[in-house]
Amino acid sequence: MTKLLGKIIIEGKIKALTGLHVGGSSTGMEIGGVDNVVFRDSITGRPYIPGSSLKGSLRSLMERSGDNPFNSRVDDSWIHMCKDLKSFERCSICRVFGVIADSLKSTESSESSEANGNMPSLTRLMVRDALITDETAEELKGLDTDLLHTDVKTEVAIDRITSQATPGQIERVQAGLEFNFGMIFNVFVKEDLIFLKHVFQAMTLLENDALGGQGSRGYGKIAFEIENLSWRPTNYYAAGQGEVAHMNESINTAAGIRDGFDQVLQKIGV
């Protein structure tokens, strides 16, 4: 059984710098229906960013950055897939974001792999749903918006052959809204800490790309503000012992933590 050494906690805010569309299902053909709506909390009705969407965006950008030797062709597409355990051990993407265990053909026994903490089922990064902050929701109370905390933008697609215009409506979160985000990076072996840097690299890539849909049309520009980056060893959870080391007291950007990553590692006593 692989032993958990501890967890890295990453928390903060995501600010929408432009309109943001992270979409749910269509409202259909009803009168006043919107073609493309955003994800909303079923209880509060507030828009939110699913953890799966955020993690998927981070992973996709990392897969496309640099020369990746582990991309494989599936039908008409190329996807990232480690084919064996040795590839997984060297792959920052699968080590951080996870991989389907059945897709690997281990060249080692499962017992020895588990002892080294390298089993592919042990995904290092967990990403929570990012909920709209209470402060943001309070500020928006009483404002004249198309829908709760969002506006509806009409987009017109032009057929390049017939010149026929086809309008559609897209719901988007307004610029300026903030969401609370949380990520947990599990550390099973000391070598995992080296891969933590790739999380902040992916965050900087996303800040210069787009979260959600319609990015080429100006949607989805965001900024991360990191408010807490801390290390919690396993005895913190078992007996309330072990100091929680805060590692970014003066740096609150993903790029700043990436660039000063050696200092972050020095504060973790593993």
pLDDT digits (tens, 9 = 90+) for 53-73: 999 999 988 888 765 556 666
Query: Is the pLDDT at 215 greater than 60, yes or no?
Result: yes
The answer to whether 214 touches 20, Cβ cutoff 8 Å, is no
pLDDT (mean) for 16-27: 74
Give me the long-range contacts of 75-82 (CB less than 8 A, separation at least 24). Answer: 82/120
pTM of the model: 0.80
pLDDT digits (tens, 9 = 90+) for 232-243: 988 888 877 777
Residue 58: what are its φ and ψ, rounded to 5°? Answer: -60, -45
Between strands 178-187 and 222-233, the pairing is: unpaired
Domain ranges of the chain: 6-266
pLDDT digits (tens, 9 = 90+) for 121-177: 568 999 999 999 988 877 777 665 556 677 777 665 666 777 666 556 778 888 888
The angle subtended at Cα 51 by Cα 171 and Cα 168, nearest 5°, is: 15
Q: How confident is the model at residue 219 (pLDDT cuts 50, 70, 90)?
A: confident
Q: Distance between CA atoms of 16 and 143, rounded to whole angstroms?
A: 18
Per-residue tokens: 249: 């007291």
Residue 154: what are its φ and ψ, rounded to 5°? Answer: -90, 125
Report helix, strand or coil for 216: helix
Q: How confident is the model at residue 269 (pLDDT cuts 50, 70, 90)?
A: low
Q: How much is the pLDDT for 79?
A: 67
Q: Distance between CA atoms of 9 and 231, rounded to whole angstroms?
A: 6
Q: How much is the pLDDT for 200?
A: 94
